[in-house]
Amino acid sequence: MPYTGEPNVHLLRPELGPVPARSLVSMRGISKSYGDRKILDSIDLDVASGEKVALIGASGSGKTTILRLAIGLVKPDEGTIFIDGDYLWHEQGPNGLRPAGERHARKVRRSLGIVFQHFNLFPHMTALQNVREPLMHTLGLAREESDARAIDLLNQVGLGEHLGKRPSQLSGGQQQRVAIARSLALRPKVMLFDEVTSALDPELVGEVLRIMRELAHATDMSMLIVTHEISFAADIADRVLMFDAGKVIEAGPPEQVLKNPEHMRTRQFLRAILER
Amino acid sequence: MSGFAWDWHFAWSIVPFLLTGAKLTIIATVLGSVIAFVLGMVWALIRMTQIRILAPIVGLFVEFIRGTPLLIQLYFLFYVLPTWGMSMPALTTGVIGLGLFYSAYAAEIYRAGIEELPVGQWEAALTMGLPLRRVWLGIVLPQAVRTVLPVLGNQVVAMFKETALLSTITVMELLAQAKNIGSIEFRYVEPLTLAGLFYLTISYVAARGLRRLETTHAVHG
Amino acid sequence: MGATKSFWNFLPFVLGGIPVTIEVTFLAMAVALPVAFLLALGRRSHLGVLRWPASFVVELFRGSSSLVQLFWAFYVLPFFGINMPALVAGVLVLGINEGSYFSEVVRAALEAVSPGQREASITLGFSPFYRFFRITLPQALPLMIPPFGNALVTMLKFTSLVSLVTIQDLSFRANLAATSLGESGPIYGVIIIVYFLLALLLSGGSKLLERLVHRWVGRDLKTDVGGKRSSVPQWALGGGL
């Protein structure tokens, strides 16, 4: 059933009841400011299971912050975040919902994976060790099992020949692919991509996008993709959200938002970006 | 001797003596700093302009001073110089010792400051046809020194604390006075604590001031 | 000549202070390193109750004269009922003092690790404990080694102070020999060279350590804290002694 993208108005306050099962990530009334700059202004967002959502917009429009809020790297000033059946920053107490801390967030976070713009690989470890770390530590798997899975993941992203290489010995595109493999290790239900090709040389962008395209087609993971690659977004996204000045000014399927935008700011943005 | 009680009356009574010592401490710090900064500049210039023969000698000398204890250097100057015919008051010896020791550090600091100068400054100065001496004196050194001023300030504070070593070569500065009182009255707590607080207060205030100097400098560039 | 004969007689006694000096250096360093880590972690802590005492200790030991600290431990603590052997007092004072200075190095090194590492670790589900030992520390350690070499040499020079509180190290014995001989030039000349050679030895050892750590952790890491405007020179040059 196609997802219509309408916000679920029951969820303005957590006490008002559970979120429908189809929504894997649900944000309600999210506001976030840094100093006196309001980055996000009362945002609602839903991502259904298996849905691929592209977030576009200018820098500072809040789209990266949405990802960091989703995975709990930052806390919202207002609003609630709901991930796969749990509130991120609240937990069920004896008398209903109450605020929760880092330890609770760490459990809820397991359903999510994120790939960063600057890879954030561990420089003192090889590609294999990078992917192996979460398997051995977070999942508690034995060395052989972790190795097997890590090798498999690295093969899937086309780096089977580079297991023993350190990040400094790999190109940007290869590093980002290791980062993708590493985030996939925990088998998240939702994958977040934070402008993962923006820091790459143009000729390396393609290999990363190819992996993402395979993930989009071959798995039923939800994907939340912040990107400037408009044609890529048009290709794989089920839904596109245009961010501007802390608000979602346009939302809909790619044919609508990217080919025939209604909002003037969207048109301006797309024109500017496609002229690059 | 347990069950100790601080004697305010005693503490108050020894303050004048301690202040006499503190005066020498400050004099030693000031004079030592002057020597250190001037000599340090000499070493730095010799090393950086790589004057033949002199530069490696100065280099070794500076490394030697930085790599050996100040205490031994002070002993050496105090006991050995007179046998070479150079007799001088203990304070002078101490000031020279401090100045020499910290000149070695100052040389390093100047070097770092000079190397930090953007290459463009050198190029601009040389293309303007200025003679090399003018380049150094008028353009490079003033900027380099301004950059490292806070670090030099730290050296002054460090030196201030190390003037205490002068007590080992009979200079009656603050620590010597405190120890003296202690050994005479056999009450060490008050004199040593007061002396310690003096060093602590001055160096803390100075360090804070320097930190503020550093940040305003960083802001204005 | 009588003087020369006595000089050679005294020399073995004086040089016998070398092991004492080295022992004090390493013992004090063994105290300084854990102290430095504890203080650095304390100052980085989010809990005020950990941060304030750590800052206090650092400011106290860095802000006062090291000789005064030594004398205070040696002469004043007994009045409060704390009696400890001179060696213990010396090692503790030198250790905590140097540890306070070095804690700034540790702090700078930990902070130099890119924040993205922390984010990646959090999102991969690593506990803070694991994150520190497996991710942050291996990247911070190589940055600490060069200043550690400096600290080692500083400590060596520091130990000369313990001669003033009755510990029979190189400086103490040199003093004794000099007063007995009545002629101090050769004795002080010799030990100043000995100190210099020891300093060279320690420097060389630390460079070796640098190379070993790099090989263990991975050659590719940054070898200094961010290039030119690094936070380290301030400390390395301002340690005194």
Query: Domain extents for chain B?
Result: 8-220
Residue-by-residue DSSP string for A219-248: ---EEEEE-S-HHHHHHH-SEEEEEETTEE
Q: Is it the case that residue B162 has pLDDT exceeding 90?
A: yes
| Partner-chain residue, chosen from A106, A119, A166, that has the shortest CB–CB distance to C125 | A106
Name the phi and psi angles at A162, rounded to 5: -120, 25
ipTM of the complex: 0.85
Per-residue pLDDT reduced to its tens digit, B18-43: 999 999 999 999 999 999 999 999 99
Q: Is it the case that residue B80 has pLDDT exceeding 60?
A: yes
Q: Is it the case that residue C236 has pLDDT exceeding 60?
A: no
- Domain B8-220 carries which CATH code? 1.10.3720.10
pLDDT above 70 coverage of chain C, percent: 88
The Cα C59–Cα C52 span in angstroms is 10
Per-residue pLDDT reduced to its tens digit, A220-239: 899 999 998 888 998 999 99
Per-residue pLDDT reduced to its tens digit, A109-154: 999 999 999 999 999 999 999 999 999 999 989 999 999 999 999 9
| Partner-chain residue, chosen from B108, B196, B207, that has the shortest CB–CB distance to C68 | B196
CA distances from C165 to B113, C21, C75, C168, C171 (A): 39, 13, 9, 9, 11
Q: Mean of the per-residue pLDDT values for chain B?
A: 87
Q: Does B72 touch chain C (CB under 8 A)?
A: yes
Per-residue pLDDT reduced to its tens digit, A62-109: 888 999 999 999 988 888 888 987 888 888 777 777 888 888 888 889
- Mean pLDDT, residues C32-51 taken together: 92
CB atoms within 10 A of CB B99: 22
| Partner-chain residue, chosen from C122, C123, C139, that has the shortest CB–CB distance to A124 | C139
Q: Find the helix packing angle between A202-218 and A172-184, rounded to 10°.
A: 20
The Cα B97–Cα B99 span in angstroms is 5
**Among A38-42, A57-61, A206-210, whose mean pLDDT is lowest?**
A57-61
Query: Domain extents for chain C?
Result: 2-231
**Joined tokens for residue B173:** 């500065």
Q: Is it the case that residue A39 has pLDDT exceeding 80?
A: yes
**The domain over range C2-231 is classified in CATH as 1.10.3720.10:** yes
Walk me through the domains of chain A, giving residue ranges and CATH numbers. 9-274 (3.40.50.300)
Question: What is the distance in angstroms between the CA of the first residue and the CA of the last residue of chain A?
Answer: 37
Confidence of residue C223 (pLDDT cuts 50, 70, 90): very low
Q: Which of A99-103, B2-6, C11-15 has the highest mean pLDDT?
A: C11-15
The Cα B197–Cα C193 span in angstroms is 36
CB contact under 8 A, C139 and A186: no
SS3 A37: strand
Q: Does C228 touch chain B (CB under 8 A)?
A: yes
Q: Considering only CB atoms, which chain A residues are within 8 Å of C114?
A: 120
Confidence of residue C94 (pLDDT cuts 50, 70, 90): very high
B167 to chain C: closest CA residue: C67
Instruction: Look at C237 and B62; give whichever has higher pLDDT.
Output: B62
CB contact under 8 A, C119 and A73: yes
User: What are the E-state strand segments in A100-255?
Assistant: 112-115, 190-194, 222-226, 239-244, 247-252
Confidence of residue A6 (pLDDT cuts 50, 70, 90): very low
Q: Is it the case that residue A180 has pLDDT exceeding 60?
A: yes
**Residues in Cβ contact with C93 at an 8 Å cutoff, skipping those fewer than 6 apart:** C66, C69, C70, C73
C116 to chain A: closest CA residue: A120
| Closest to C25 measured CA to CA, from C203, C236, C145, C235 | C203
Q: Is it the case that residue B220 has pLDDT exceeding 70?
A: no
C240 to chain B: closest CA residue: B158
What pTM was computed for the model? 0.83
Instruction: Look at A272 and A22; give whichever has higher pLDDT.
Output: A272
**Joined tokens for residue C149:** 């070499």
Confidence of residue B195 (pLDDT cuts 50, 70, 90): very high
Name which of C113, C114, C119, C124 to mutate to probe chain A: the one with the most chain A Cβ atoms within 10 A of its Cβ: C124
Per-residue pLDDT reduced to its tens digit, B91-132: 999 999 999 999 999 999 998 888 888 877 777 877 887 777
The Cα A18–Cα B122 span in angstroms is 69
